Structure 1
Amino acid sequence: MFLKTFFSTIFLVLVLFSCAEDHETKFSSINVTTNNNKLVEINIPKAEGNDEIAKTINTEINKVVSASLHIGEGAPNTETSIEENIEKFNTEYNTFAKDFPESTFPWEAQIDGEVMFQSPAIISISITSYLNTGGAHGNVHISFLNFDAGTGKRLENESLFISQNDFESLAKTYFEESIEDKSILFDPENFQLAKNIGFSEDGLILLYNTYEIAPYSAGIIEYTIPAEELNSLLTINSPY
């Protein structure tokens, strides 16, 4: 009887462990392109595992990548597939090349994504896009995406903190320590919280893209708040 109970317990533990592994979201790296594509290179993570969670995460990644390929005025259509937006980007260039045959500089787009941080509570992904459509220089833009690991739902920055005011005060302290020359800022007297906030092994990264708070020459500005400073401020239980 003892052996039967013992082996039954072991079997149950293994089953539960296996189920937990099956529900864990894993990521692979994929290259997205089309048959007629000559201008766009895309390498992004793809969520796999629980169908609903993976689908939700992949949908959000697709929206950000699709928006990154948008050319011209008006809001981007993020409901279309990445492949459709790749084709549209190539078509836009072909039209431009016909209208301005003297322009020999080809357009290009490079989009790369990576999983910055993953725990049982949260998943953070960064998407870096570089677009050059014939201007003086290309434009780099980085987007951080935070997801609830249990649902796949994208988390808005405001939902990450128990007190937005307390977090802003902490962020301002680290921002001021990281900026040696405040004269590079558009408005050095007023602190502006970064729109891009993402988790890493070291803590919370706050990132300002080019032109957000400083001119192009300043480049991308970022700083990190150490993980140990965040425990009492986060709405997420045990992200680290």
Structure 2
Amino acid sequence: MNKGMQWSAALLAAGILLGGSGLTGGTSAYADTTTTNVMKQSVQQPAVVLKYKGETLPQQGKIVNGNTMIPVTVLRDALGLPLSYTPSTKTYSVGSGSMKLNLETSQYGVSTNLNGYYIYSNSSKYEAKNLDGHLYVPFKLLNDYLGYQGAYSPSLKSLEISKRVMNDISISSVTLNKTNKNASIQIQYPQISGLTDKAQQAMNAVFKKKSEEFATESEKQSKIRDGSVEKHKYDFSQDFVVTFNREGVLSVVIDQSSYTGGAHGSTAREGLTFSLKSGKQLELGDLLKATPNYKQKLGNMLKERTKKESFADVSAGLNTKPDFYVKEGGIAIFYQQYEIAPYAAGLPTFEFNFSELLPKGINPFSSIK
């Protein structure tokens, strides 16, 4: 029996299929009228030939709303990522560590998170889908967060998938639990190993300090809760996601969420980018130094972009100390809740390619110390 057919009892009992050829049987968890219509429509979507390490894979991808969707079985069978299933939450987990992709299925769709961090977008570019009773994930998710890249051939309708060269480090997750009678306080933060002591100690100290400060503030807030009046406990959580881990640079996004009653909670986001050589925290100017007027240039670009967005209350430029993180091929500038838009807009984020910001041929990481 080959690796692709080694199904655990839990996977067989799950009922939902993982996608790809030869994996049939069971009843889809999405057998409602709405989803049935969606699945019928998905049959009409063009197929994409998938290749890995020069070989054509038996599974095919699909193009849905401009996104190339990859069967989850490709991640298991071709890319070799471990796959497990948790029946109690109806969640499929692919990969491990800080790049563990969790796909929680329900009648409403598929909720996607990376090691507990939920990735939201104004578009559906990161949205996993159940197509014809099979689970698919967008290639954009693999490209931006799981360390893979792809070369697409429009004429052949094929996608050649390959693995990126990543930094040779380990990223583990540390849990800080400060839950008490008034509040649930669950905090996760990254811990780096595999570097020189000086560099990793500097980075780990930053992660730990910020997490402990959030825990202390959360405990302080929980003490003012009046349990005799307020029925529900307060809720505080911190999660993180790695957005870039290559070329001697590490970029991490940390979300700190709080709910102390009312219609909704709030989330504060912070982007932290480091040089792995020194452990120094990098600023935007360290990456865009080849463009002396980058502040003015990026500010103008932001004003144009925010003005076009219907949710923005103002035409926003570049803050004195902008919130940002590094992504594959560029940077993302983001604003906090309510900073430029109403709550429903979340944390407005605008992505820019390095090719838009730097002179041609310049590598933004080559001079990082």
TM-score, normalization by structure 1: 0.68
Q: Which runs of 5+ in 1 are unaligned?
A: 1-22, 72-88
List per-residue Cα deviations over 1:95-125 (Å, max 9, x = no partner).
Answer: 334x552111211111101211012331101
Q: Secondary structure at the match of 2:206?
A: helix
Change beyond 3 A, Cα 1:118–1:199: same
> Could you tell me how far 1:69 is from its partner in structure 2?
3.9
**Structure 1 position 180 matched with structure 2 position 324:** no
> 2:237 matched to 1:237?
no
User: What runs of 5+ residues in structure 2 fail to find an aligned partner?
Assistant: 1-166
Residue equivalent to 2:318: 192
Corresponding residue SS for 1:184: coil
Q: Tell me which residue corresponds to 2:204.
A: 58
CA contact (8 A) 1:198 1:205 kept: yes
Instruction: Give the superposition deviation at 1:179.
Output: 4.7
User: Which structure's residues are more often helix, by fraction?
Assistant: 1
Matches within 5 A, 1:1-240: 24-34=168-178, 39-50=184-195, 51-69=197-215, 71=217, 89-90=218-219, 92-93=221-222, 95-97=223-225, 99=226, 101-162=228-289, 163=291, 165-170=293-298, 172-173=300-301, 176-177=304-305, 179-181=307-309, 184-185=312-313, 187-188=314-315, 191-193=317-319, 195-232=322-359, 236-237=365-366
1:30 partner SS: strand
The CA distance in 2 between the partners of 1:40 and 1:171, in whole Å, is 37
Which residue identity is paired with 2:294? Answer: D
Retained in 2: the 8 A contact 1:144–1:196? yes
8 Å CA contact 2:299, 2:318 repeated in 1: no
Q: Following the alignment from structure 2 to structure 1, what is the Cα–Cα distance between the partners of residues 214 and 350? A: 24
State the distance in 2 between where 1:54 and 1:152 align. 6
**Structure number with higher relative contact order (C-alpha < 8 Å, ≥ 6 residues apart):** 1
Number of residue equivalences: 196
The percentage of counterpart residues that share the same residue type is 23
Work out whether residues 57 and 152 of structure 1, in 8 Å CA contact, stay in contact via their aligned partners in 2. Answer: yes
Aligned counterparts of 2:190 and 2:249: Cα–Cα separation in 1: 16
SS for the counterpart of 1:55 is helix
Task: Give me the whole-angstrom Cα distance separating, in 2, the residues matched to 1:70 and 1:213.
Answer: 29
SS of 1:210 mapped into structure 2: coil
Q: Which residue identity is paired with 1:209?
A: Q
In proportion to residue count, which structure has more strand?
2
When normalised by structure 2's length, the TM-score is 0.46
Return the offset for 1:174: 5.4
